[in-house]
Structure 1
């Protein structure tokens, strides 16, 4: 998990050396500091009552203006789960591990209930613009984060799956999502078959700001992060070698530049409009 005096050094590098977790700190601090995503699970399923309890904990998280615009769909029926995950495992960049996920949750933004309330109360819906979509998406993201924390405290392993949005229309059909309800992310859930490693992150000096945003020294910090990460957690494969060649040094920034050199989910905006949202 971590060989440093504090796992923050492993994750963020030397500029986090001043951050410590006291011995009497809440256990959740250590859990969050050392957490990592799990992509290899034992075959035994997570009991439905456990999942339902974790959903209740997740939905106890904050929600914008008490609008409660998030839903969670538990996918534990094997054939349905296979239909959803099969296209996500295909191709050279397919996520093969998804084929063996015991349970998949889909976190959805739901602006439909709010619109129904306006019909029931005969009050105009005056916020039919980008914020309606944005608020529901953020609500779902907040609930997903809370589920992750609760599930890992339960001893489960999880890994968010943004790739469910690659096939938003198909997913909507399979899960019978109506207009104004949309997938934000999937979450693989199960009992871990291995201890996850700490994912290295950009230094806090680049991502935590005080009083105002600043990015002085960003390029230098990215280069240092690339070197640190390549030494400790090298990528198993390089993206799009045929197009970009094989880099002698392949760090985080090279990987992310190559990733976003190709369109991802370019049709998602059109999908969101088809299900009734205005993005003005």
Structure 2
């Protein structure tokens, strides 16, 4: 395997960072690489907000409940952003654009664009010897995050990312087998064969949890997923996004 494949294949989330800030040059290098991600029709429907104000970091940590939102080398918030495009138009053109801007299709475009940029951010940062961790828990109170960051209409905070110098070396967490996530020509609806692969993966993950250096426990992927989806969370996100005039049609 080449260096890029090795880098991607050895990803692990870092949740403990050394007390050392990223330099402006490092941040610009990371974002410079990130924005070269593929983008639908060249719309580049995202904005990345770097958080340098410790007071703002503390507020975001309160929403997330995770210490590493505040304790890291740099914190990014990734936003789906159709406002920038909307502002390119005259008032009359904006009326003509409204149906498209507010559609589910364009919300998906902006979300995918943002995710692609974020993954590029991970790869760029890790190639520089830094660690990263996605922070979806900013959506625990998405309206408050919106207000803290003073986001305009047509902009939604999707997730954060902590980046910094690792102060831990966690074990690499197993992933589902290739045959489960990659199908050829059509969706594989052979539940039995798929479940056999997942059962084997569950045993591998159970062993990982029991033997890892920190937070050992007995658990499987299937058990986690059933627990997770039996309890609906962040149900306010739907109304919030529609109030931001996105995903309405």
List structure 1 runs of 4+ shifted beyond 4 angstroms: none
- The answer to whether the 8 Å contact 1:158/1:187 transfers is yes
> Partners in 2 of 1:257 and 1:105 — Cα distance?
31
Write out aligned runs for 1:1-280 (5 A). Answer: 21=1, 25=2, 27-89=3-65, 95-119=66-90, 122=93, 124-125=96-97, 126-127=99-100, 128-216=102-190, 217-234=193-210, 236=215, 250-280=219-249
- Matched pairs, number: 241
Corresponding position of 1:3: none
CA RMSD in angstroms comes to 1.9
Unaligned runs of 5+ in 2: none
SS in 2 for 1:136: helix
Q: CA deviation at 1:134?
A: 1.1
> Partners in 2 of 1:121 and 1:237 — Cα distance?
60
Q: Which 10-residue stretch deviates more, 270-279 or 134-143?
A: 270-279
> Partners in 1 of 2:57 and 2:51 — Cα distance?
6
Taking structure 1 as the reference length, the TM-score comes to: 0.80
Corresponding position of 1:12: none
Cα deviation digits, residues 120-140 of structure 1 (max 9, x gap): 783721513111211111110
Unaligned runs of 5+ in 1: 1-20, 90-94, 239-248
> Partners in 2 of 1:146 and 1:278 — Cα distance?
25
- The answer to whether the 8 Å contact 2:17/2:72 transfers is yes
Q: CA deviation at 1:32?
A: 0.9
- The answer to whether the 8 Å contact 1:86/1:99 transfers is no
Corresponding position of 1:5: none
SS in 2 for 1:43: coil
- The answer to whether the 8 Å contact 1:72/1:107 transfers is yes
Taking structure 2 as the reference length, the TM-score comes to: 0.90
